Amino acid sequence: MHLLYGSQGSGSSIAEAALERCGVDFRVVRASQWEPDSAIDELRRVNPLGQIPTLVLPDGSVLTESAAILIHLGLAHPDSGLLPADTARRAQVLRGLVFIAANCYSAITQSDYPERFTTDTADAAREAVRQAARAQLHRHWEIFADTFGALAGEQGFLGGDSRPGALDLMAAVVSRWSGTRAHLAQHRPGFLAVLQRIEADPGLAPIFARHWP
């Protein structure tokens, strides 16, 4: 049994969708730093950062970081289609996963918690950090769309396959935050259509509906 720490409408939905795709048994424990009534203390015992998703594997080992969880599950369950079988396409998917984790996720953290990135306690200073982080985030998504969007073609997905994979899951979820979708609608509408196609996939639509009713 896999144990997934997460919360509704959060990044744990990425790992939840991947676990369902792999067809493995798992249990979700509601835990997050913004829900004081959740199992946050239990989460911190396995992940001192208190971040979600955190995945405890059946052997008791702990996996954190969405990209690492997706890569592990894709390699452990090759028939799931989370990672492409083709070596060249798989390399690009891995690149895309790390791109989102390193660039987009980090900018979202700066936007959500500007007080962590300035010693100035004035509201105006913190808002300036937030706005700069969002501008950086949206630029990163433009680069991602230009770099990886073509892999989807007219009706495909970001891994170059006929069904969504790991990169699709991560892009569709992380792009929901910090005004990214509104920015893409104006500046990269074709890529926004890819994200919407991912969410509408019959295998993923119920998961998105659960997390964003």
pLDDT at 159 over 90: no
CA distance 157 to 20: 18
The stretch 88-110 carries a mean pLDDT of 96
Pick from 72, 137, 84: which is nearest to 111 by CA?
137
pLDDT at 156: 84
Name the average pLDDT for the chain: 96
> How would you list the strands of the sheet with 62-64, edge to edge?
26-30, 2-6, 54-56, 62-64
Task: Tell me phi and psi for residue 54, to 5 degrees.
Answer: -125, 130
**Domain 2-80 - what CATH class?**
alpha beta
From the list 192, 178, 186, the residue with the least C-alpha distance to 132 is 178
Radius of gyration of the chain (CA): 17
What are the residue ranges of CATH 3.40.30.10 in the chain? 2-80
Tokens standing for 57? Answer: 């594997």
pLDDT tens-place string over residues 186-207: 999 999 999 999 999 999 999 9
Tell which wins on pLDDT, 80 or 160. 80
Note whether 101 and 65 are within 8 A (CB). yes
pLDDT digits (tens, 9 = 90+) for 121-144: 999 999 999 999 999 999 999 999
Write out the residue limits of the CATH 1.20.1050 domain(s) in the chain.
Answer: 87-202
Q: Are 202 and 120 in contact (CB under 8 A)?
A: no
When pLDDT is cut at 50, 70 and 90, the band that residue 48 belongs to is very high
* Residue 134 to residue 60: CA distance in whole angstroms: 37
Task: Give the N- to C-terminal CA distance of the chain in Å, as an integer.
Answer: 27
Indicate if the pLDDT at residue 32 is higher than 90: yes
Architecture of domain 87-202: Up-down Bundle (1.20)
Q: What is the pTM of this model?
A: 0.94
